[in-house]
A = this chain, B = another copy of it.
Amino acid sequence: MKTEILSELRASGQYVSGQQLCERFGVSRTAVWKAVNQLKKEGYEIEAVQNRGYRLVSVPEILSQKELESIRKTKWLGQKIFYYEELDSTNSAAKKLAEDGAPHGSVVVTETQSAGRGRRGRSWASPRGTGIFMTYILKPEIEPANASMLTLVMAMAVAKGIGNMTGIRAAIKWPNDVIADGKKICGILTEMSAQVDYVNYIVIGSGTNVLTESFPPELEGKAASLYMISGKKFHRAELIEEINEQFERYYNVFMETQDMAKLQEEYNQLLVNCGEKVKVLGAREEYEGTAQGITARGELIVDTWEARKLVASGEVSVRGVYGYV
């Protein structure tokens, strides 16, 4: 009942009479009154004015199953939300949930990760209450070879979602980071469980620094949070919802062709490397060139002095020559 009433108040933005709520959900005035009181206890500021009803004034900065469900506007993404106070890693939990039959579009969210991971097993700091640590579970009918492009789709959703909600100009650092003000604010880790030619499931994890106030010295100048950049404390649940909406939209376009063909242009507008000098550090070679955007297959186009090269995401590190991480 709490979730439904919260959704209703949130959606209206105005006063909603107790009578309306009773009729809408088929419950007594007392039941409504009780639910509102519980919400207040949890930190929701709800104004009650005689003859007008209830109005949601502010929401607490919490992540909870209820909060996330009440805010949801997406169609298929987040139909099932798995919220945990703490996890080893959202990707690891998501893989187990997928193994146990969690449906396509499930979202795993936690307040803190004890063993958050980035690419190739690198650790990812996830202090409680500072960020968005979440993983999508997807079960698309897709070639395993196309799965890694979903990292690019997610990067678009994060960059766009942040821009829409906060006004901060977030950009993509190909293939799996989102940066703002030249510093990393989000990392993405896509993993897949597959048979030879068949994807069992894909998990896309993302860690976004939202409220972090400072980073350890070794990350200074390299990492930032939305708070550090803007001085504003953004509401994480709302940002999750915004990112989810963007992802749902981009994903649907991606699935039409199972590649970046229809997203390429918009991707390139969000790409910080575009037109910039980059250094490509591959396993076998190392070179500098100018990044020109991505191909429909999601490869990074780099023009060197002698040739055009296509960089497949893989164990390749692309560095901006002019400073950004």
A interface residues with partner B (beta carbon < 8 Å): 92, 95-96, 99, 119-120, 148, 151, 175, 189-198, 200, 313-315
Sampled A-B contacts (28; CB under 8 Å): A92-B99, A95-B95, A95-B99, A95-B193, A96-B96, A119-B195, A119-B196, A119-B198, A120-B195, A120-B198, A148-B196, A151-B196, A175-B196, A189-B195, A190-B195, A190-B196, A191-B193, A191-B195, A191-B200, A192-B192, A192-B194, A193-B193, A194-B194, A196-B313, A196-B314, A197-B313, A197-B314, A197-B315
Most chain B CB within 10 A, of A175, A196, A197, is at A196
State the copy count for this chain.
2
* Alpha-carbon gap, A94 to B267, bound state (A): 38
* Alpha-carbon gap, A99 to B92, bound state (A): 6
* Alpha-carbon gap, A190 to B198, bound state (A): 11
Instruction: Decide if the interface of chain A is mainly helix, strand, loop or mixed.
Output: mixed
Residues of B contacting A151 with CB < 8 Å?
A: 196
Q: Which chain B residue lies CB-closest to A189?
A: B195
**From residue A148, how far is it (CB to closest CB) to chain B in Å?**
4
* Alpha-carbon gap, A191 to B151, bound state (A): 21
* Alpha-carbon gap, A237 to B230, bound state (A): 64
* Alpha-carbon gap, A191 to B195, bound state (A): 5
The 3 nearest A-B residue pairs measured at CB:
A197-B314, A148-B196, A193-B193
Known A-B contacts A95-B99, A99-B95; A193 and B195 likewise in contact (beta carbons under 8 Å): no
* Alpha-carbon gap, A95 to B193, bound state (A): 9
* Alpha-carbon gap, A193 to B92, bound state (A): 11
**From residue A214, how far is it (CB to closest CB) to chain B in Å?**
30
**From residue A153, how far is it (CB to closest CB) to chain B in Å?**
14
Most chain B CB within 10 A, of A148, A151, A197, is at A197
* Alpha-carbon gap, A200 to B120, bound state (A): 9
Residues of B contacting A198 with CB < 8 Å?
A: 119-120, 315
Q: Which chain B residue lies CB-closest to A313?
A: B196
Residues of B contacting A148 with CB < 8 Å?
A: 196
Q: Which chain B residue lies CB-closest to A151?
A: B196
* Alpha-carbon gap, A293 to B195, bound state (A): 23
